[in-house]
């Protein structure tokens, strides 16, 4: 972490200023529950509020009888039970596709040995998992240091504000700005995310 921070400070004066304002990096990787459970949670949280997703997640865990669902748990529970827990038909389909792929060889346990783009390619083949979800998996579950999620709204907004851009940057412009961060683009993104937190607090009375 110290090496990455030092690299960013010397390569990008804008980011160096942000790092001074934010302070020490507190990026943490959460590997509790395993990869499958993490992907289940990612699907559950799509397109609904965090509070609603947390409620549904709790119901699902109660339904399967364990804190971290396994593929066989998702496939065992009948659709009406999942619907009663609050899952939409679409998300039930997503979870079951993920469970079948995990049971039939989706290389969840081998992800740690694979390149970023190989992991992304395998994940986006699952129904309901797009590139952004795969990139968040790389960052917060696998701890990959050089990920740039160019479609993340928060990163686009923070980059626009930090670099004085007129509009939200397009992927090509984001890649150009972040090129100097390699091989620590994840760390640069973490600091940009934190600027949204600090500005939000400053705006409160």
Q: Within 13 Å of residue 163, how many CA atoms lie on the same side as its CB?
A: 19
Phi first, then psi: what are they for 17, rounded to 5°? -65, -45
- CA 70 to CA 192: how far, in whole Å? 34
In angstroms, what is the C-alpha Rg of the chain?
19
pLDDT in tens, 147-168: 999 999 999 999 999 999 999 9
* CA–CA gap between residue 110 and residue 160 (Å, rounded): 37
pLDDT tier, 108 (very low <50, low <70, confident <90, very high otherwise): confident
Instruction: Map out the domains of the chain with their CATH numbers.
Output: 2-28+148-203 (1.10.1670.40), 34-140 (1.10.340.30)
Residue 63's nearest CA partner among 42, 47, 84 is 84
Is the separation of the CB atoms in 25 and 34 below 8 Å? Answer: no
* Residue 148 contacts residue 189 (beta carbons within 8 Å): yes
Give the pLDDT of residue 117.
96
Q: What is the pTM of this model?
A: 0.86
Nearest to 82 by CA among 62, 97, 110: 62
- The structure tokens 């390619």 sit at 121
Q: What is the pLDDT of residues 3-59, one digit of tens each?
A: 999 999 999 999 999 999 999 999 999 888 888 999 999 999 988 888 999 999 999
The candidate with the shortest Cα–Cα distance to 40, out of 19, 69, 8, 5, is 69
| Tens digit of each residue's pLDDT (9 = 90 or more) over 173-197 | 999 999 999 999 999 999 999 999 8
CA 90 vs CA 44, 47, 54, 122: distances in Å: 11, 12, 18, 20
**Residue 116 in contact with residue 144, Cβ under 8 Å?**
yes
C-alpha span between 193 and 186 (Å, rounded): 10
- Cα–Cα–Cα angle for 125, 130, 131, rounded to 5 degrees: 105
Whether residue 183 is preceded by a cis peptide bond, meaning omega within 30 degrees of 0, is yes
């Amino acid at each position: 972490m110290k090496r990455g921070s030092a690299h960013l400070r010397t390569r990008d004066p804008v980011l160096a200023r942000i790092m001074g304002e934010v302070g020490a990096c507190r990026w943490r990787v959460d590997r509790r529950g395993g990869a499958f459970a993490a992907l289940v949670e990612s699907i559950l949280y799509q397109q609904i509020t965090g509070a609603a997703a947390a409620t549904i997640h709790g119901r699902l865990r109660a339904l399967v009888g364990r804190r971290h669902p396994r593929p066989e748990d998702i496939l065992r529970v009948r659709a009406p039970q999942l619907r009663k827990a609050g899952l939409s038909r679409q998300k039930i389909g997503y979870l079951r596709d993920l469970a079948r792929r995990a049971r039939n060889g989706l290389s969840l346990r081998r992800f740690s040995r694979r390149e970023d783009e190989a992991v992304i390619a395998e994940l986006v083949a699952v129904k309901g998992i797009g590139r952004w979800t795969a990139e968040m998996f790389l960052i917060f579950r696998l701890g990959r240091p050089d990920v740039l999620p160019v479609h993340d709204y928060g990163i686009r907004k923070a980059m626009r504000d930090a670099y004085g851009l007129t509009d939200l940057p397009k992927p090509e412009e984001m890649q150009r700005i972040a090129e100097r961060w390699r091989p620590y683009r994840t760390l640069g993104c973490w600091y940009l995310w934190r600027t949204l937190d600090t500005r939000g607090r400053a705006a409160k009375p």
